[in-house]
Chain A
C-alpha cells in the first residue's frame, strides 16, 4: 500500500476534529490514521515498475501486473485463442455473443490490429451503451417502478428517460466528470447556448429513485430519509464512501463527522423530489418535471388558451350556420322521408348529405366509428387501439394472455376497453343476423381505478327507429357492473343491441372494460371476446363466427339521431306494413311535416321538444359542413387552429428528477441550512450547520454556498476537489466488469472498512490516464481490453491455483458467467429473435423479445427471472452482484417456456448442419469430430431424424450447458 501523507490535509482535519470531537488523545490518533487512509490521498505520479520479461507487456497496465507476478514468481498465462477472445470481448462490451459470421470474419482477419479493430467495432455499437448502462444502474439502485400498486402520481414510471440518458451518455462517451455533474445538478447547469437543459434535468433522476418509505405517515422522517438516501447514493456511487452512519453519530471508521453529514444534508434539504409531503394516509406524490423551459411552457399555455378561444368562436359560427340550414331543411322533412324510398326528381333538389343521413336512419344502416387503427399501442405487441381523428372516444383491445399496465390503466388479458369523449358516449353495437330470442349478459368495469370518478353506461335495444333502454348502470371509481337482462329479448333481423359507455362527469379517466355476450338457444353465441378481439385491428364492422357480415361495430353516440317516436310513429307504422302503400307513406310523411310546422313555433306543443331535436347534433339535418357558410370567417379560423394544433401536437413530456428548494409546504421549503439531528432524530435538534463539503477534503474554512441549494457546488466539488478519488472509484468499477473482480474488491467502499487495492500503483496510473484522457470511458476500455493481461487464457494451471487461488495477481483471466441480462438476451439473440429496438418505457412480460435492460423492475414485485439469476436487487445499491448456483436456476432452464421456446426456435434455424450451426451460434466455435459423433449418437437416441422434437431437445441441452453459460 502506498501512503503519501499530505500535511495540509492532516492539519485541516485536526482543526475540524477539535471542534466536533471530544478531546481524547486516542481519538486523535484514530483520526490521524484515518486521514492517512490511502483512498483520500492524491494520485501518486505514475512510475512504471521494472519487469524482466519486457516482451509480454502491451500496455502500461501490463507492466504493473507483470511486475507483481514476477515478484511472486509467477508467469502470466498464454494468450487466449481467437474464438475465446471474440466471445469474451463481445459479451464484455455489448452483453451479447458474436454472430457466427462475426467470428469467421475475425478468424480470417490477418491484419496485425484485427483485435483492436474488433474492440473499436464493439465500442461503436449502440448495444455498448445498453450493456454498460446496466452496470451503472445497479449502483444507483435503479427501478422502473416503486410499487406495482402505485398510481402515476406516486410512482416513477417516467424514470425510463433517465435509463435512456445513461445509455446515450455511454454511447456518446460523455466525459465522466460531466456524467457525474449532470446527475447531481444537471437541472441547474446552464447549457452554453442558454437553451433549456433537458438532458440535465433527466439526469437528476438518479436522486429521485431512492428506496425511502414512500407511504410513511411520519412525513418529517420521510423527508429525512430521502435526504439520507441522496447523501448516501452520491457519496457511495461517486466516491466509494459510506457516510450514512454519520447521520446519527460521528463515523466510527471513516473520517466523516455528523457536521460533514449535515453540511451535505442541508444541500438536499434545500432541494426536492416531491411536490409536497402528501397526505399522511397516502403515499407521497412524486415530482413530475416538465421537460420544457419556463418560456416555452408559458408559450404553450398561451397557445392552448388561444386554441380554446378559436374553437369556441368557430363552433359558434358553425352552430349558427348549421341551425339556419337545419331549420330550412326541416321544412321539407316529408320530402326527405319519401325520398328515402322513392327518387325525388322535383326542384329544388334535396341536399345530398341530408338525404343520405335519412336513408341511413330509415334503413337502420350501420355507421361504424373509430376507424383509425394503431397497432403496437403503448409499445405492447398485443395491444391495438382505435380512434377517429379526435383522441377520444377510443377503444383498445388486449389480445395477449397477460394483463398489461400502461399509464394508470390496468387492462386484463383478452379484453376490450373503451373510453368516451367529453360530450359523447362510445359503445359497441350488435346487429341481429336473424330473428331470435336472445339473452344478453356481460360486464362493465373500470379499468382505471387510479383516477376518474365513476362510470355510467346504458344498454339499448333498437328496432326500426324505436329504442328501448333495457339496462343502465352507474358505479364508483374502481367499481364494476354486471349486465343482466332478466327476460329474454325478442329481436328481429337487423335489430340492434347497443352497449354504451357515457361520459360521466369528468370523462377523462373513464377507460372502461366491456364484455358482452349474446346467446340464442343452446348453441348460438355472439361475444366481443370471440367475434371482435381476434380481428380487432382488421374489422369494424366485424362479421360473426358464422360469417354473417356486419354483426358488430363500434359506435359513437353522435352517430345516433334522436327521432322522437311520438313524432315519427306514423312513418314507422306505414313502413312496417307489408304492402308499403306509397299513398299511406306519403300521408304519414305529410302528417309528420304538419306536426313539425305547428310544433316548431308553438313552445306549448307536446311535440315541441321532439322537433327541436331535429335541429341539433346527430339529427339528419345537422351537417358538419352545411352549404351555408358563405363568406364566414371559418376557413381562416380553421387554418389558425390547424397551425396551433400542429404546434401543440406533442404532449408535454415529464421527467422524474429534482428541483431547487426544499419540499414545498414543509418547513424545508426554500433554501436553508439545517441543524444536526441528534441520534438521527428530527425531533432532537443540535447545532445549525452551514451547507458545506466534508472537511476531510475541503478543510474547515470553505467559501459559503451562495447560489441555490448548493448542488452545483457539490457537483464541482466532486469533479474538481475530489477528482482523484472520483477517478479511482470509476476506474475500479470498469476494471471489475472486464476482469470479474475489482482491483479494490469492495467497489463502493474505499473507506477503512473496505479492502485495500491489490495493485495500488496501477489503480492510480489508470485513474491518472482516465483524467488525462478527458474522462473518456471508451479510452479506458481500450486501455484495459488491448492489454495482454486481459487477453490471457482463463485456464488455471495447478501452479496458479496453489499460489494464487483467488487470482488476485491475475496470472490468468477470470472465467465469468453470463449475468441475468446476458443470459436472457442470448437465449433470444442466438435464435435471431431479439428485437434490438432501444429505449422507451419498460416492458412487463418476460417473453417479450427485447433486451432485458428494458424489462420492468418493480420494488414490490420482483421479477422472478432476474432475481433467480442474481440480477441486481432494485431496492439497494449493488456494487458487485452475488453469484449463486442453485437448483431452481436449473429448473428454470429445464422447464420454463422462455427456454423451451428458445430451443424450438434454435432447432428451426439451423439448417442441414444443425450441430455445427448450434455450436457456432452458442459457443462461437466449430464442434470437434468427437463432439459431432457424440451429438449424433445423442440425437439418434432421442429419435432423430424421425422425431421432430429430438433436435429441439438437443438444442435445449446446449442452451443449458456450461460452455454457453460461462465465458472463458
Chain B
C-alpha cells in the first residue's frame, strides 16, 4: 500500500512493488485495480467448483478408438476403406479402417465403456466425465500441444496454468503455483507452460528430475548457521540502505524475499518428499512395480502439491521404464505393442490418484483432466499404426464439479468426426475456467493494444457436464 496515498486504491504496479512474492503472484485481488482495469473481475462472480487442476497429459496423441470410444462399424468394417472423404488437412494419407485390437466392456453403475487396456481406470468409471467429441485444429504435435495448452496454435500466448495462476493467485506462497512434472521435454517444450506476456512469475515451474525437483534449495558451501548469520547481516545492511533512500517499496519487497526464501528452504523439499507416504499409498500408485513407478511417482507428487494448494499441476507422461520420449503416445507404428505399454505404465497410477484424492476428500474440489493434444485416425497407418487425428477424440475429467459417470458427445460411426455436441479446445478451456470460478470472457490481459484471453474470441462453457 502506498502510505502517502491511503485514499487511492492500490494500483497493480504498487502491488507488484509492495509484496515480496514467493512462487506465487497476485491473484484476483491484484486484478481489481490499475492497469488490469479492463480485466476487472467482480469478486465472487462465479461460484468456484474446483480450487485446483491436475492435468494428466498423454503427450503424442492417445488413440481414442482403442481406449475410450468403441465403434462397432469400425470393427465390422475393419480393412475396408473409410466410406467418406477424409478432410483435406492431413499429414500423410492413411489406409483402410483398422478395428481396435482390444475389447471394450461396460463399467460401474453408469456402464461406461472402457478398453480392456485400462482395467484400473475402469474401476473409477463412475467418477469420470468422458467427453467423446473433442475437436482441435492442428494436425502436428507442436501446434496441437500449443493449442491444448494455450488456446493458440502458432504464436506465443499464456498457458492455461499461467492464466489460472494470474487470475486466482496461489494458495501456497512457499511453492510454485503452477508446476509441470515431466521427465522428458514434450513437443514444443517451454511455451506449453510459459506465461508469454503475463508477468513471468505466472509461468509453470518445470520439474524434470523427480528426485531433486526444485533448484537452489540447498547450499553446498555454508552451514545453515552461517547462512542465517549472512541473512541477518544482509537484512541490517539492506535496511540501512533503504533508510537513507526515502520510500521505495521495491527495496522492502526484496528484503522480504530473502526471508521468504530462507523459510522455503525448509518447507519446499517436504512437499516433494514421498518417503513419508505409507506403503499402502505407495502401492496404490504402483511405486512397487518398475512398470508403473515413474508415472506413479509423478501422480503421487501431484497429489501432494494439490494438498498444499498448488493451483495447477501438469503431469506429462513422457517416460516409461523402457523409454523416454517427447511423444510416447504417438503410435504411427507399433500400436499393438506400445499402446499396451503406455497403458500399463499409467493406468494404475491414474486410478490410484483418483482414489487417493477421493479418500482424502480432495477430489470434490480438484479437477483432474486426462488427455493429449489429439486422438488418432480410425484408419490405419501401415498395418500397425494410426495417424494424428484432431477432428474427433476423447478426453475426460473427474472431480472438481463435473458429473461423474457421464459420457458426453459422440463421434460418427467410425470415430472420425465429432458429430454430437462437439467440444472444441476453446470450449474445454472455457469450461475449466468456469469450474475454477472464472468467467473466461472476463479474465483478460492488456498487451500491445489488445485485451487477450485464454479463449481468444471463442469458447462456450459446456454446462451440461457440470454437476
Binding site for B on A (CB under 8 A): 147-149, 211-218, 221, 225, 229, 236, 242, 245, 253-254, 280-281, 746, 748-749, 751-754, 794-798, 801-802, 805-806, 815, 817, 859-862, 864, 867, 870, 873, 875-877, 879, 882-892, 894-897, 900, 904, 931, 934, 938, 941-942, 949, 952-954, 956-958, 960-963, 965-966, 968
Are B248 and A953 in contact, with the CB atoms below 8 A? no
Are A900 and B221 in contact, with the CB atoms below 8 A? yes
Give the contact stretch, choosing among B186-194, B279-287, B400-408: B186-194
Pick the contact of A888: B23, B142, B244 (CB < 8 A): B23
Instruction: Looking at the assembled complex, report how far the CB atom of A892 sits from the nearest CB atom of chain B, in whole angstroms.
Output: 5
Query: With A and B bound together, what is the CA distance between A213 and B219 in angstroms?
Result: 41
A-facing mask of B8-41, CB < 8 A → 1, else 0? 0000011011001111010000000000000000
Query: With A and B bound together, what is the CA distance between A966 and B244 in angstroms?
Result: 14
Pick the contact of B257: A887, A952, A956 (CB < 8 A): A887
Contacts of B230 in A (CB 8 A): 894, 942, 953-954, 956-957, 960
Give the contact stretch, choosing among B76-84, B100-108, B199-207, B310-318: B199-207
Residue picked from A794, A873, A952, most chain B C-beta under 10 Å: A873
List the 6 closest pairs (A to B, CB-CB), nearest first.
Answer: A860-B189, A753-B449, A890-B261, A875-B156, A796-B246, A215-B142
Other than the known A225-B155, A958-B237, A960-B230, what 9 A-B pairs have Cβ atoms closer than 8 Å? A242-B449, A281-B91, A748-B448, A798-B246, A885-B17, A889-B257, A896-B215, A957-B234, A963-B238
Given A751-B449, A900-B220, A960-B258, CB of A875 within 8 Å of CB of B196: yes
Pick the contact of B236: A280, A751, A934 (CB < 8 A): A934
Residue picked from A879, A952, A957, most chain B C-beta under 10 Å: A957
Are A211 and B22 in contact, with the CB atoms below 8 A? no
Instruction: Looking at the assembled complex, report how far the CB atom of B30 sits from the nearest CB atom of chain A, in whole angstroms.
Output: 13
- Determine if B358 is an interface residue (Cβ-Cβ < 8 Å): no
Contacts of A212 in B (CB 8 A): 154-155
Pick the contact of B241: A242, A864, A896, A961 (CB < 8 A): A961
Contacts of B23 in A (CB 8 A): 886-888
- Determine if B2 is an interface residue (Cβ-Cβ < 8 Å): yes
Query: With A and B bound together, what is the CA distance between A931 and B146 in angstroms?
Result: 53
Query: With A and B bound together, what is the CA distance between A43 and B266 in angstroms?
Result: 59
- Determine if B149 is an interface residue (Cβ-Cβ < 8 Å): no
Query: With A and B bound together, what is the CA distance between A957 and B227 in angstroms?
Result: 10
Pick the contact of A280: B91, B174, B196, B237 (CB < 8 A): B91
Given A861-B190, A876-B196, CB of A894 within 8 Å of CB of B154: no
Contacts of B238 in A (CB 8 A): 961-963
Binding site for A on B (CB under 8 A): 2, 4-5, 13-14, 16-17, 20-23, 25, 89-92, 138-143, 146, 153-156, 173-174, 185, 187-191, 194, 196-197, 199-201, 203, 215-222, 226-227, 229-231, 233-234, 236-238, 240-242, 244-248, 250-251, 253-255, 257-258, 260-262, 264-265, 326, 446, 448-450
Query: With A and B bound together, what is the CA distance between A795 and B247 in angstroms?
Result: 9
Residue on B with the closest CB to A796?
B246
Query: With A and B bound together, what is the CA distance between A364 and B91 in angstroms?
Result: 59
Are B216 and A801 in contact, with the CB atoms below 8 A? no
Instruction: Looking at the assembled complex, report how far the CB atom of B438 sits from the nearest CB atom of chain A, in whole angstroms.
Output: 22
Residue picked from A148, A149, A806, A884, most chain B C-beta under 10 Å: A884
Contacts of B190 in A (CB 8 A): 859-862
Contacts of B241 in A (CB 8 A): 961-963
Instruction: Looking at the assembled complex, report how far the CB atom of B157 sits from the nearest CB atom of chain A, in whole angstroms.
Output: 9
Contacts of B222 in A (CB 8 A): 949, 953
Given A805-B5, A894-B219, CB of A873 within 8 Å of CB of B189: no
Pick the contact of A215: B25, B140, B240 (CB < 8 A): B140
Contacts of A958 in B (CB 8 A): 237
Query: With A and B bound together, what is the CA distance between A309 and B229 in angstroms?
Result: 75
Contacts of B450 in A (CB 8 A): 242, 245, 753
Contacts of B203 in A (CB 8 A): 867
Query: With A and B bound together, what is the CA distance between A801 and B188 in angstroms?
Result: 46
Given A876-B156, A886-B257, A887-B257, CB of A867 within 8 Å of CB of B229: no
Query: With A and B bound together, what is the CA distance between A218 and B390 in angstroms?
Result: 13
Query: With A and B bound together, what is the CA distance between A833 and B17 in angstroms?
Result: 33
Contacts of A953 in B (CB 8 A): 222, 226, 229-230
Contacts of A966 in B (CB 8 A): 250-251
Contacts of B233 in A (CB 8 A): 934, 938, 954, 957
Chosen A-B contacts, 7 in total, with CB atoms closer than 8 Å, are A214-B142, A815-B245, A876-B196, A886-B257, A957-B237, A961-B238, A966-B251
Are A218 and B139 in contact, with the CB atoms below 8 A? yes
Query: With A and B bound together, what is the CA distance between A860 and B140 in angstroms?
Result: 16
Are B156 and A795 in contact, with the CB atoms below 8 A? no
Are B449 and A801 in contact, with the CB atoms below 8 A? no
Instruction: Looking at the assembled complex, report how far the CB atom of A579 sits from the nearest CB atom of chain B, in whole angstroms.
Output: 61
* Total CB contacts across the A-B interface at under 8 A: 243
Are B153 and A888 in contact, with the CB atoms below 8 A? no
Are A801 and B89 in contact, with the CB atoms below 8 A? no
Given A217-B140, A894-B216, A952-B221, CB of A281 within 8 Å of CB of B92: yes
Are A887 and B264 in contact, with the CB atoms below 8 A? yes
Residue on A with the closest CB to B253?
A885
Contacts of B91 in A (CB 8 A): 217, 280-281
Contacts of A887 in B (CB 8 A): 20-23, 173-174, 257, 260-261, 264
Query: With A and B bound together, what is the CA distance between A796 and B251 in angstroms?
Result: 13
Residue on B with the closest CB to A947?
B226
Instruction: Looking at the assembled complex, report how far the CB atom of A788 sits from the nearest CB atom of chain B, in whole angstroms.
Output: 20
Instruction: Looking at the assembled complex, report how far the CB atom of B143 sits from the nearest CB atom of chain A, in whole angstroms.
Output: 5
Given A815-B245, A960-B234, CB of A213 within 8 Å of CB of B92: no
Contacts of A752 in B (CB 8 A): 449
Contacts of B251 in A (CB 8 A): 962, 966
Contacts of A245 in B (CB 8 A): 450
Query: With A and B bound together, what is the CA distance between A550 and B202 in angstroms?
Result: 59
Are B226 and A961 in contact, with the CB atoms below 8 A? no
Are A873 and B246 in contact, with the CB atoms below 8 A? no
Are B255 and A962 in contact, with the CB atoms below 8 A? yes
Instruction: Looking at the assembled complex, report how far the CB atom of B420 sits from the nearest CB atom of chain A, in whole angstroms.
Output: 26
Contacts of B250 in A (CB 8 A): 815, 817, 883, 885, 966
Are A962 and B242 in contact, with the CB atoms below 8 A? yes
Residue picked from B140, B156, B253, most chain A C-beta under 10 Å: B140
Given A801-B246, A875-B191, A957-B233, CB of A962 within 8 Å of CB of B449: no
Given A887-B264, A888-B216, CB of A749 within 8 Å of CB of B448: yes
Query: With A and B bound together, what is the CA distance between A862 and B185 in angstroms?
Result: 12
Are B216 and A873 in contact, with the CB atoms below 8 A? no
Residue picked from B89, B153, B217, B234, most chain A C-beta under 10 Å: B234
Instruction: Looking at the assembled complex, report how far the CB atom of A283 sits from the nearest CB atom of chain B, in whole angstroms.
Output: 8
Contacts of B231 in A (CB 8 A): 894
Contacts of B155 in A (CB 8 A): 211-212, 225, 229, 876
Query: With A and B bound together, what is the CA distance between A896 and B17 in angstroms?
Result: 25
Pick the contact of B200: A229, A753, A870 (CB < 8 A): A870
Contacts of B153 in A (CB 8 A): 213, 216
Instruction: Looking at the assembled complex, report how far the CB atom of B38 sits from the nearest CB atom of chain A, in whole angstroms.
Output: 10
Contacts of A896 in B (CB 8 A): 215-216
Given A214-B142, A215-B141, A861-B190, CB of A795 within 8 Å of CB of B449: no
Are A217 and B20 in contact, with the CB atoms below 8 A? no
Instruction: Looking at the assembled complex, report how far the CB atom of A857 sits from the nearest CB atom of chain B, in whole angstroms.
Output: 11
Contacts of A214 in B (CB 8 A): 142
Are B229 and A891 in contact, with the CB atoms below 8 A? no
Given A891-B217, A949-B221, A961-B238, CB of A795 within 8 Å of CB of B194: no
Instruction: Looking at the assembled complex, report how far the CB atom of A794 sits from the nearest CB atom of chain B, in whole angstroms.
Output: 8
Query: With A and B bound together, what is the CA distance between A221 and B200 in angstroms?
Result: 29
Are B261 and A888 in contact, with the CB atoms below 8 A? yes
Query: With A and B bound together, what is the CA distance between A795 and B246 in angstroms?
Result: 6
Contacts of A236 in B (CB 8 A): 448
Instruction: Looking at the assembled complex, report how far the CB atom of B180 sits from the nearest CB atom of chain A, in whole angstroms.
Output: 12
Are B226 and A867 in contact, with the CB atoms below 8 A? no
Instruction: Looking at the assembled complex, report how far the CB atom of B184 sits from the nearest CB atom of chain A, in whole angstroms.
Output: 11
